[in-house]
Structure 1
Amino acid sequence: MSAYTYAYRGSLLENRHRVSIAIVGPRGALLAYSGNPELVAPLRSTAKPFQALALYLSGAVRRFDLTPAEVALSCASHDGRPEHVALVARYLEKLGLGPEHLVCGAHPPFDPEAREALQRAGKAPGVLHNNCSGKHAGMLATALALGVSPEGYHEAAHPVQQLILQILRELSGHAHIPHAVDGCSVPTFALPLAPVARMFALLAAPEAAPARYQEGLEGVFSAMRQHPELVAGPHSIDTVLMRRVPGLLAKRGADGYYGLALRESRLGPVGVALKVESGSSEAREPMVVRLLEVLGLLSPEVELPWRRPVLRNVRWVPVGHLEARLELNWVR
């Protein structure tokens, strides 16, 4: 069975993006797939809900009395809007730290309005605008809760990253997890799609996880569901889907990765891991929407800009579109 996102320029097929998908239950059973469910790829920002579990295992949530909003921001690829920047700043103040402790680097806000406002003000983006700044604040909180120096918290040998690696090993069932360096300088870990989907299924059904992870899995799920606007932004697919689909947790990652935890699917609680093999994030969104339609969680009547996105040239003239086609292979 196949899943492809097709890019058309006018009526001409220009690109075909193959997508691999795994749908897994909380006990680890593969329920459905398309393409290669064992495809190995770095999780990139799709790993953030699991990196945030370190806040619970280290005791940081209790020590710093972290709010659901701060937990959600720790899981975020936020759009750099003023509310995101302000909350990260307050988060750091709560820790007794400042922006200078973040090693994520700076990039312009993803949100067009926020980006244009910075440009009009003649200001350069700072580290707080980085979409990963909340995650990095969470890693600093974890270091302090562990009683170790936050210096070098982004390095693979640091206790914070070793704790995150332990979390991924235990929840995925994979002892050997290779890593590389992510765009924000922390490790990014590579796993097959099916185990990643299983981890998302545990967010949907924390009671199926080892006891010491259940509070954190529920806390992360609840925080992201309570504050979808902090996870991305009002015009981004993660936020919009979490607002529209009951019991859904959505997390994008760079280079065409996506994760979903679904509490209310017709299959019961399930997790989904999806990867566009070409790395195109532009091709990812139509497939995510199509998958939710196939699973009966999203009506084709709901208007979404990602269902059949328009491609435009530099003069903003429509020149084509993207279209997702999906066939799932049902295992049971």
Structure 2
Amino acid sequence: MTRGTRTHTPKLKVHLLREGIVESAHQVEATVCDARGRLLSVAGNSETTAFVRSALKPFQSIAVVTTGTLERYELNDKDLAVICSSHQGTVEQARQVFNILWRANIDPSALQCPIPKGYQSSLQHNCSGKHAAMLAICQQRNWPLNTYLKKSSPVQYLILDKIGELLAMPGAELISAYDDCGAPTYSIKLSQMAHLYAQLASGNNLDLERIVRAMTYYPKMIAGEGAFDTELMRLTEGELVSKSGAEGIQCVGRVGQGMGLAIKVIDGSKRAKYATALHLLRSMGWIVPSIVETLAKKFVSLSNYKRLEVIGELSMI
């Protein structure tokens, strides 16, 4: 999938500075690939494996696009956006998830994602859109609804096959585990994450192109007001597609250019991945300085006394 042999370079460092003095530090690895899977640049080790977590959602959603489920239940791009989301459980977002279930004639009680602490319904769980899509596919295919999360479920096999096709490997070879929401997630290399996002952003696949259009046209559905993914996509107006994952995962695709960036913070820090993403997107010329400055006010300058500093650059392969 990659070319060349130099896949291991110095990691990036992210320092938390308190009035300019280092208080904490994080190590970060990052990889950039093109849509053919060729390695373009690296910080750290492109072969590092990690669970892709919620950054996988755009690719899990391929199943709902390719099975005709959207057309069967007259679902639109706003529905597709919330399917790809890690949302904040707002009324608007929960209603959008309910719309998917209502159109597919599925009771919300069929959702097997947990009820978040402090909320009243599984509809408000940040993964409920993904779960609703899995249920809608099962309904459309006459597959059992009550086992949709099991790795042996037909819908999970379907999703795994779609991901395997994009990675040009048998999906069965991927290491799987259950995510916190109860759905399967997969451990893959950073280079594979970057390759997936490069394909997502390439414009060479009509199904992926529809997913990108939904995510970038409805960025508020993907996370929510003030969240990194939402604000990055809103400010770049469709030029970047972005999706976070838990435990320090951040992936970004450059739309129309067929390039993907994957980031993994070794200790799982959320704050470090956002600062790293801005640092790398600026250095690669994927976003203009004014956007970096706007986002840095929240994601780099953490308070009057604290800010983040990213040290290091990607190395070209």
Do both share a fold (TM > 0.5)? yes
Match of 1:181 among 178, 184, 189: 178
The answer as to whether partners of 2:203 and 2:255 remain within 8 angstroms in 1 is: no
1:219-238 → structure 2 map (5 Å cutoff): 219-238=210-229
Task: Give the corresponding residue for 2:191.
Answer: 194
Match of 1:322 among 305, 308, 316: 308
Aligned partner of 2:122: which letter?
V
1:137-286 → structure 2 map (5 Å cutoff): 137-175=132-170, 176-207=173-204, 214-245=205-236, 246-263=238-255, 268-286=257-275
Shift of 1:243: 1.0
Output the CA distance in 2 between the equivalents of 1:72 and 1:45.
13
1:297-312 → structure 2 map (5 Å cutoff): 297-301=286-290, 302-304=293-295, 305-310=297-302
Range with greater deviation from structure 2 (322-331 or 48-57): 322-331
Task: Give the corresponding residue for 1:211.
Answer: none
The count of aligned residue pairs is: 302
Secondary structure at the residue paired with 2:255?
strand
Aligned partner of 1:325: which letter?
I
Output the CA distance in 2 between the equivalents of 1:145 and 1:93.
13
Shift of 1:198: 0.8
The answer as to whether partners of 2:280 and 2:314 remain within 8 angstroms in 1 is: no
Output the CA distance in 2 between the equivalents of 1:69 and 1:8.
40
Output the CA distance in 2 between the equivalents of 1:143 and 1:319.
51
Match of 1:40 among 49, 53, 57: 49
Shift of 1:306: 4.1
Secondary structure at the residue paired with 1:271?
strand
The answer as to whether partners of 1:291 and 1:326 remain within 8 angstroms in 2 is: no
The answer as to whether partners of 2:116 and 2:125 remain within 8 angstroms in 1 is: yes
Shift of 1:146: 2.4
Question: TM-score when scaled to structure 1?
Answer: 0.87
Output the CA distance in 1 between the equivalents of 2:299 and 2:128.
30
The answer as to whether partners of 1:6 and 1:324 remain within 8 angstroms in 2 is: yes
* Alignment CA distance shift 1:84-1:307 (3 Å): closer
Cα deviation, 1:8-31, whole Å, max 9, x if unaligned, reads: 344432322111111110111111
Match of 2:106 among 63, 84, 97: 97
Output the CA distance in 2 between the equivalents of 1:48 and 1:65.
21
Output the CA distance in 2 between the equivalents of 1:293 and 1:232.
22
Task: Give the corresponding residue for 1:290.
Answer: 279
Over the aligned positions, Cα root-mean-square deviation in angstroms equals 1.6
Shift of 1:319: 4.8
Task: Give the corresponding residue for 1:107.
Answer: 116
Shift of 1:69: 0.4
Secondary structure at the residue paired with 2:270?
coil
Task: Give the corresponding residue for 2:71.
Answer: 62
Q: Which runs of 5+ in 2 are unaligned?
A: 1-9
Shift of 1:168: 1.4
Secondary structure at the residue paired with 1:310?
coil
Range with greater deviation from structure 2 (62-71 or 297-306): 297-306
Cα deviation, 1:189-219, whole Å, max 9, x if unaligned, reads: 1100111111111111142xxxxxx232111
Cα deviation, 1:244-295, whole Å, max 9, x if unaligned, reads: 114210001111101111025xxx3201111111111121111111111111
2:13 paired with 1:4: yes
The answer as to whether partners of 1:172 and 1:196 remain within 8 angstroms in 2 is: no
Output the CA distance in 2 between the equivalents of 1:307 and 1:297.
17
List 4+ stretches of structure 1 deviating above 6 A. none
Shift of 1:45: 0.2
Percent identity (aligned): 32
Output the CA distance in 2 between the equivalents of 1:329 and 1:139.
39
The answer as to whether partners of 1:68 and 1:223 remain within 8 angstroms in 2 is: yes
Output the CA distance in 2 between the equivalents of 1:253 and 1:10.
30
The answer as to whether partners of 1:286 and 1:309 remain within 8 angstroms in 2 is: no
2:82 paired with 1:78: no
Aligned partner of 1:261: which letter?
G
Question: TM-score when scaled to structure 2?
Answer: 0.90
